């Protein structure tokens, strides 16, 4: 083997993931994948943060770890205790993994609109699952409120409250944002993703804006049908309408401003409404053109990245070869019945 070939091999091996300390140690440090066809189509570098490569299969592994660590650090839970959460799915999966790894019991309340595959997976991971009717947040029977009451009735239990527990947001200030910055060597011009709890968008936006300078990186929120956030940001934060309509996407969209999102609403530069039709088409495009198998929320984020490139690129030659990042939060397997 030539010295040059050995050098290339050594560099590749050295860049590989080191041995991690169990499931917990494997969370984060996900690849940033260039979406070749979309980049060529837009004249921008569209980069996808491959969060489906977290050990639990989604971006929510990060928040799950941080809300449990927060409960431990604040003395809210002791060994052998119970973690209770209200979730549309992926946070529950992350929590089930984290709790199993740390020796806690896990109880999940979720809307009964979620896929049976998610429910089955949660139960397989050892979580106690309660699918309940989907009602608005201001209804006392909302799945989050039921989770809170369940935790309050147990000894040595904590409701991790992912929507309003800012440990969720902190996970992305301390991990996701810094990873994107390092992976792009600071050459990041925009970031977009959808939001459920607001943690990924707000935390990543906070880090990137502070690191690059507020005007040097643009943050776009991607919103599905049935969510009120597009209208809220388009109205300059003046109109938070009642939630109407629905979407094929699961776990994203929101009817209120969560505590995770609230501190950083001023960092959002633009809002994008992404129709389900565009999301469905992108699911197939990513599989056909990129060989990447993702769910609807991931595809929605990719649509948003393309729209972001078009909006920022209008009349601006300088955008060519600019880096625009999006999150690919999970893969499709949890949403389909496999033979």
pLDDT at 320 (0 to 100): 39
Displacement of CA 274 from its chain's centroid (Å): 17
CA separation for the pair 70, 72 (Å, rounded):
5
Beta partners for 47? 34, 325
Rounded (to 5) percent helix, strand, coil in the chain: 45, 15, 40
pLDDT per residue as tens digits for the range 40-83: 999 999 999 999 999 999 999 999 999 999 999 999 999 999 99
pLDDT per residue as tens digits for the range 274-311: 999 999 999 999 999 999 999 999 999 999 999 999 98
Q: Are strands 190-194 and 323-328 parallel, antiparallel or unpaired?
A: parallel
Structure tokens at 130: 């309660």
Domains identified in the chain and CATH numbers? 24-55+166-337 (3.40.50.1100), 78-155 (3.40.50.1100)
pLDDT band at 339 (very low <50, low <70, confident <90, very high): very low
Instruction: List active site positions.
Output: 60
Query: What percentage of residues in the chain have a pLDDT greater than 90?
Result: 75
Residue with structure tokens 């507020």? 214
pLDDT per residue as tens digits for the range 128-175: 999 999 998 899 999 999 999 999 999 999 999 999 999 999 999 999
End-to-end CA distance of the chain: 45
pLDDT at 114 (0 to 100): 84
pLDDT band at 2 (very low <50, low <70, confident <90, very high): low
pLDDT per residue as tens digits for the range 78-99: 999 999 999 987 899 999 999 9
pLDDT band at 4 (very low <50, low <70, confident <90, very high): low
Mean pLDDT of 108-116: 91
pLDDT band at 245 (very low <50, low <70, confident <90, very high): confident
Q: Is the pLDDT higher at 135 or at 8? A: 135
CA separation for the pair 37, 306 (Å, rounded):
11
Q: Is the pLDDT higher at 251 or at 166? A: 166
pLDDT at 296 (0 to 100): 93
CA separation for the pair 120, 113 (Å, rounded):
14
pLDDT per residue as tens digits for the range 194-203: 999 999 999 9
pLDDT at 328 (0 to 100): 72
């Amino acid at each position: 083997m030539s010295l040059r070939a050995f050098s290339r091999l050594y560099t590749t091996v050295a860049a590989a993931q080191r041995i991690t300390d169990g499931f917990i140690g494997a969370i984060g440090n996900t690849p940033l994948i260039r979406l070749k066809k979309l980049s060529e189509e837009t004249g921008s570098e569209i980069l996808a943060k491959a969060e489906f490569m977290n050990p639990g299969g989604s971006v929510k592994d990060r928040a799950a770890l941080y809300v449990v660590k927060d409960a431990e650090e604040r003395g809210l839970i002791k060994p052998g205790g119970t973690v209770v959460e209200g979730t549309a799915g992926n946070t529950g999966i992350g929590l089930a993994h984290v709790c199993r790894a740390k020796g806690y019991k896990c109880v999940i309340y979720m809307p009964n609109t979620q896929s049976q595959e998610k429910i089955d997976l949660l139960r397989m991971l050892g979580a106690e699952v309660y699918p309940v009717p989907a009602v608005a947040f201001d209804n006392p029977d909302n799945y989050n409120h039921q989770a809170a009451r369940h935790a309050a009735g147990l000894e040595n239990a904590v409701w991790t409250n992912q929507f309003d527990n800012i440990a969720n947001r902190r996970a992305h200030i301390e991990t996701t944002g810094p990873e994107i910055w390092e992976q792009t060597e600071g050459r990041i011009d925009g970031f977009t993703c959808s939001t459920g709890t607001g943690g990924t968008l707000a935390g990543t936006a906070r880090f990137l804006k502070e690191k690059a300078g507020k005007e040097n990186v643009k943050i776009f929120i991607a919103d599905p049908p049935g969510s009120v956030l597009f209208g809220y940001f388009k109205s300059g934060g003046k109109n938070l309408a009642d939630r109407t309509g629905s979407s094929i996407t699961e776990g994203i969209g929101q009817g209120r401003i969560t505590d995770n999102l609230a501190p950083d609403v001023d960092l959002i530069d633009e809002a994008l409404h992404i129709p389900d039709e565009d999301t469905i088409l992108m699911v197939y495009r990513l599989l056909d053109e990129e060989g990447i198998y993702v769910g609807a929320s991931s595809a929605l984020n990719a649509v948003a990245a393309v729209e972001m490139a078009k909006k920022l690129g209008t009349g601006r030659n300088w955008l060519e070869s600019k880096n625009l990042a999006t999150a690919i939060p999970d893969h499709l397997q949890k949403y389909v019945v496999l033979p």
